[in-house]
Structure 1
């Protein structure tokens, strides 16, 4: 796998987004999944992946704490791209009940451990169900988004989940991403233009100010790297 990914990554460096997607889909068999949170990056990928809907299983994670605007853009996306059936995965109600009983409904503000446990219940566990049996996971990650993502590859082996992760927008800047949205009239979350460049759960997301990093609005009360556990680099040699 290491040699295959090295070869494919070299080939992908000279390809456009429209070229890279069919190239990768052709080179990987088995179940291929696309995860969307309806952020601007995922919306761009939805536009390009809709053409290949028959080869992809698209899904989203509904944590139960989403912004109303996220559901609104979900509906608009379904209307514009009906061929891409986006399946919704939810957390286990019993897990939520236990968490709220032990930590409180907003217990994630009290400690990093509580916040990570909330993310695990609402995101990581449902994700495991969504990607089960998949060989390829397509994401909207961009290297520009954070230091933790700056050394990614187009194709990476995800040891934790036992599959290959494909990051088609790896080298896109925010301006380039916005240009694609404008060119194709792609629906985006209305919160985006209010300064919400990275949109997660409502209690854990705020708008960012000029000069702040892309993910500064996520878990703003914490310091350090801000990841929820969905995208953790486990083997940078691939």
Structure 2
């Protein structure tokens, strides 16, 4: 791996309890006492870091995040190819990083099994965080599966709400999104401010392509979901995920098929968690 000169960044800012309302009125610093406040100084630091890390390797981006935020850095993973690659990087760069999965209750068994395979190979135990209600309770409350009638609300209740609770006490989170995945993700900086959750957001694979990810997965023997070999390039909850067809080029075409919905709300650019 080529060695990058460590970027010269502004002095690390102290952990500043948020004392002003967040842009979205929920999930921001005021609901996370340990969060950083979105001050102009912090925004400039993040912008400078993002510029300097634009051509960095994922390892270097993860190392910067770990050094900058320490135990206030966390990662959410759905065990997609990108997440698995980052987990393999964490094992050698920052193995102490807290990692969690939003266990909606609708995940494929292959996804759940992958957690155990990752733990066996890398020693990283991903915490499985569940919503307030079990699937049975949730469907009883709504008179049946809500993913059929209101998938936005289902994602909000079983993912977004859980994430907001999961990141309390943290200042930054990592995701495995790539810019070439969708229009929402095309403008994702390497380091930026996530106003929806009141966190710094690191995207170590922003500049990676699908081929880049799979090249490393295969070459390095990183465990991945076997459903990817069965026509599922993007895997979410089983009721809202299908295999893509031969003429479909969008790797997320199998997510919420037949609906205008393309995101669960975790990575959309909307400032409010509703209507995602």
The reply to whether residue 191 of structure 1 matches residue 227 of structure 2 is: yes
Shift of 1:2: 1.6
Partner of 2:142, secondary structure, is: helix
1-structure distance, mates of 2:52, 2:219: 27
Conserved 8 A contact 2:73-2:172: yes
Conserved 8 A contact 1:29-1:135: no
The one of 111, 116, 122 equivalent to 1:75 is 116
Post-superposition Cα deviations, 1:181-208, rounded to whole Å, max 9, x if no partner, equal 0111000000011111110110110011
Shift of 1:221: 2.2
1:221-232 aligned within 5 A: 221-223=258-260, 225-232=261-268
**Which residue of structure 1 aligns with residue 23 of structure 2?**
none
The reply to whether residue 174 of structure 1 matches residue 210 of structure 2 is: yes
**Which residue of structure 2 aligns with residue 88 of structure 1?**
128
Shift of 1:234: 5.1
Shift of 1:95: 8.5
Q: Residues 96, 183 of structure 1: CA spacing in aligned structure 2 closer, same or farther, 3 A cutoff?
A: same
TM-score (norm 1): 0.90
Conserved 8 A contact 1:99-1:118: no
**Which residue of structure 2 aligns with residue 139 of structure 1?**
175
Partner of 1:34, secondary structure, is: strand
The one of 34, 56, 61 equivalent to 2:102 is 61
**Which residue of structure 1 aligns with residue 147 of structure 2?**
108
Conserved 8 A contact 1:195-1:208: yes
1-structure distance, mates of 2:143, 2:265: 19
Q: Residues 122, 14 of structure 1: CA spacing in aligned structure 2 closer, same or farther, 3 A cutoff?
A: same
RMSD of Structure 2 on Structure 1 (CA): 1.8
2-structure distance, mates of 1:27, 1:229: 27
User: Whose helix fraction is larger, Structure 1's or Structure 2's?
Assistant: 1
**Which residue of structure 1 aligns with residue 85 of structure 2?**
44
Runs of 4+ in structure 1 deviating by more than 6 angstroms, as ranges, are none
**Which residue of structure 2 aligns with residue 214 of structure 1?**
251
TM-score (norm 2): 0.78
* Aligned residue pairs, count: 228
Q: Which stretches in structure 2 are left out of the alignment for 5+ residues?
A: 1-41, 272-276
Q: Which moved more, 1:202-211 or 1:95-104?
A: 95-104
Q: Residues 95, 117 of structure 1: CA spacing in aligned structure 2 closer, same or farther, 3 A cutoff?
A: farther
2-structure distance, mates of 1:18, 1:107: 39
Q: Which stretches in structure 1 are left out of the alignment for 5+ residues?
A: none
Shift of 1:107: 3.2
2-structure distance, mates of 1:234, 1:75: 34
Conserved 8 A contact 2:176-2:203: yes
Conserved 8 A contact 2:185-2:267: no
Shift of 1:30: 5.3
